[in-house]
Amino acid sequence: MKKIVSFFLIVVSVFGILSCSKSDEHLEVDLSKYNSDITVENDIDKWLSETFVNPYNIEVIYRLERNFTNVARDISPVGLEKVEPMMNAVLKTFLQTYEEVAGSAFIKKYTPKQFVLYGSPSYNDNGSITLGTADNGRRIVLYELNSLNFNNPNQVKRPIRTIHHEFAHILNQNIVIPPSFEQISKRDYTADWTGAANTPAVAKSLGFISQYARSSFGEDFAEMVAFLLVEGQVFFDNYCATTTIEAANALREKEKLVIAYYKDYFGIDFKILQATVQKSLKDNYNAVEPEDNTQSILNLILNNKLNNIKFDPTSDIFKEHGISKDFEKVWKNYVTAVSTQDSVPLRRFPQTLSLMFSSSTRMVLRVEYLNANNVLVNADYNFDFIIDPLANEIKFSKSLPEGTTTAHNNGAVISLKPSFEKYLLPYFTNRVFTMEWLPKTISSTDPLFRTLGGFSEKGSTTNFYYGPIVLK
């Protein structure tokens, strides 16, 4: 019986084992036979493999693939001739700059692993266009590449800015933006950033680096990063210098937080990164930094750095560079009126005129003159002024009551005040001036370049007051 059972079990086992081994020839998908739709590797593919896949494990998709964008939209593929220039720009101004500053481990870890290129923009329902997106910290999609001229640095900067913008999002997806950033401009974020009300000027006056920055604090942060890196510090300083003080403060505050974010969370010196990106743009695309406009008379006054601008007709400067005819006439009339009064004891002898800036809203006009005893003394008059920084305009007005110093008292005497009120006061208060380096004939190679300046009547090239700029 046992034998039978054993035999039975052996038979069962043998058949069981044999019957369970199945022929699976046709049941699994044979991937070697599976069709891959791109069949041939061309020169572009080879270059991309060598440059991006091997060192960075980055895939570049340039042949039209709807699945990486909004399938409902009509988006054109990129032209073959744009692929290498675009990806070269990505390499030089993005990957290699981060690699240099933050190390190859950093960029290999955080860089998006897929770049998708499209030739046309992606049109949004509200009429705006999308130039780039970042998905899940892993993919950057770039649009509107067909119209790019890679010999024009300003055109190259646009997609590069997009990449740095999207990369900032990727970093934010790893470590969130500090809450304090959102607080700076919290009330001014708007979903309707494309609305007619949000002009570039309005966005600027509210302390945003671009119109798009108003859409949310996340975009604001990414726009700050992109503009600081790609447009550069000079651009940013100029931008801050030509807006309201409140806006400039907000921008500066955001800049500080961006720098701190990179330092604190990723150990990256943002300023060095910025310099590296700028150098790459210069070396590879002949990008030129904008002229530094922060050292304008406007900013010197706004930042209370200007001490005075003095007109001394005996100085060599005026002999060499001349005097504005209109101003000279006013000055001569004033001097003549004061020095040839009928009453000889009342006669005084004006020598120089100075505009002395005591704050960003106050100015003292000082006349140096020889008194009846031939002693050089001062007559002072207080002025207020209002500056329109966007238009670079200044408007003086007489400040009352007058000051009480000795010099103010001098100015109020009968021998001086009527002539001041007749000639000098109307000259400075009856017109709007623009603040400029003057005279304009001084070229940038002249040693005197940007040492002389003053105020031109708005709209006039012949009527101006100028002198050596003395800083505080």
Partner 1 sequence: MRKILIMLITAAIVVGCSKQETELIFNSTPEERMNQSLAELKSTLVNAPNGWIVGMETGTKGGYGFYMDFSEDDNVTMYSDVNEGSRSVSKNSTYRIKWGTTASLIFDSYSYISLLQDPQPSVAGGVAGKGFQSDLEFNLNRISGDSMIFSGKKYNNQLILVKASEYEKSGYLNEKFPEDIKIINEYLNNGIPVVKVGDVETEISINSDKKVFSLVGLIDNEVVGVDIKYFNIIGESIGFIKPIAYNNEYFTAIVKEESGYKLLTQSGMKFDIYKSDNYILPPAYKLGSAISKMTVPGAFDNSENLPAKTWSSSFAVDWINYNVLAKTSGYNLVTGTTTHTFVPVRNEISVTTTIFQNTSPFTATYAYKYSLDNDRGIIKFTSISAVNGNGGIIVPYMEDSFFANMKDKEFNLSYIKDEKFGNAIQFTRVDDPNYFFTWFY
Q: Which of 414, 332, 410 is nearest to 378 (CA)?
A: 410
Closest distance to partner 1 from the beta carbon of 356 (Å): 56
Q: Which one of the spans 26-34, 231-239, 294-302, 305-313 is the region binding partner 1 (CB under 8 A)?
A: 26-34
Does 126 help bind partner 1 (rule: CB under 8 A)?
Answer: no
Among 20, 191, 197, 375, binds partner 1 (CB under 8 A): 20
CA distances to 98, 205, 217, 273 from 87, in Å: 15, 35, 29, 20
Shortest distance (Å) from residue 88 CB to partner 1: 17
Cβ nearer to partner 1, comparing 25 with 320: 25
| Cβ neighbourhood burial of 123 (10 Å; 0-12, 13-18, 19+) | middle
Please report, as a single letter, which amino acid is at residue 197: A
Q: How many helices (H) and strands (E) does the chain have?
A: 19, 14
Closer residue to partner 1 in complex, CB, 76/88: 76
Question: For partner 1, which is the closer residue by CB, 118 or 428?
Answer: 118
> Is residue 395 near partner 1 by the rule CB under 8 A?
no
Tokens linked to 372:
């009846």
- Candidate segments 48-56, 65-73, 90-98, 152-160, binder of partner 1 by CB under 8 A: 65-73
**3-state DSSP assignment of residue 288:** coil
CB of 37 to partner 1, least distance (A): 4
Residues in 397-426 at the binding interface with partner 1, rule: CB under 8 A: none
Q: Is 67 in the site for partner 1 (CB under 8 A)?
A: no
Q: Binding partner 1 by CB under 8 A: which of 54, 57, 65, 336?
A: 65
Which region among 60-68, 359-367, 407-415, 422-430 touches partner 1 (by CB under 8 A)?
Answer: 60-68
DSSP 317-360: HHHHH---HHHHHHHHHHHHHHHT-SSGGG--EEEEEEEEE-SS
Residue 186: DSSP 8-state: G
Pairwise CA distance, residues 81 & 64, whole Å: 14
Interface residue with partner 1, options 6, 42, 461, 462 (CB under 8 A): 42
Q: Which of 231, 98, 210 is nearest to 160 (CA)?
A: 231
Handedness of CA 336, 356, 470, 428 (dihedral sign): negative
Amino acid in the structure at residue 278: Q
Closer residue to partner 1, CB minimum distance, 33 or 186:
33
Query: How many residues lie near partner 1 (CB under 8 A)?
Result: 45
Q: Exactly one of 2, 3, 27, 105 binds partner 1 (CB under 8 A); which one?
A: 27
* Residues in 425-454 that interact with partner 1 by CB under 8 A: none
For residue 397, give the 3-state DSSP assignment.
strand
Among residues 18, 105, 197, 471, which is the contact residue for partner 1, using CB under 8 A?
A: 18
Judged by CB under 8 A, the residue of 58, 93, 107, 119 near partner 1 is: 119
Q: Count the residues in the chain.
A: 472
Site for partner 1 in 151-190 (CB under 8 A): none
Q: State yes or no: residue 342 binds partner 1 (CB under 8 A).
A: no
35 contributes a contact to partner 1 by CB under 8 A: yes
- 139, 116 contact by CB (below 8 A): yes
Does the footprint of partner 1 cover residue 76 (CB under 8 A)?
A: yes
Collapsed DSSP state (helix, strand, coil) of residue 50: helix
Q: Does 63 bind partner 1 (CB under 8 A)?
A: yes
CB of 454 within 8 A of CB of 310?
no
Q: Binding residue for partner 1 (CB under 8 A) from 48, 52, 58, 62?
A: 62
Q: Which amino acid is at 256?
A: K
**Exposed, middle or buried: residue 319 (CB in 10 Å: 0-12, 13-18, 19+)?**
exposed
Contact predicate 222/172, CB 8 Å: yes
Q: How many beta carbons lie within 10 A of that of residue 151, not counting itself?
A: 10
Contact stretch for partner 1 (CB under 8 A) within 56-64, 102-110, 225-233, 458-466: 56-64
Which DSSP helix (H) or strand (E) runs through 19?
helix 2-20
Residue 15 as a binder of partner 1 (CB under 8 A): the answer is yes
Taking contact as CB under 8 A, which single stretch among the options 30-38, 152-160, 358-366, 446-454 is the one that binds partner 1?
30-38
Residues that bind partner 1 (CB under 8 A): 4, 7-8, 11-12, 15-16, 18-20, 22-23, 25-27, 29-30, 33-35, 37-40, 42, 62-66, 73-80, 119-121, 123, 127, 146-147
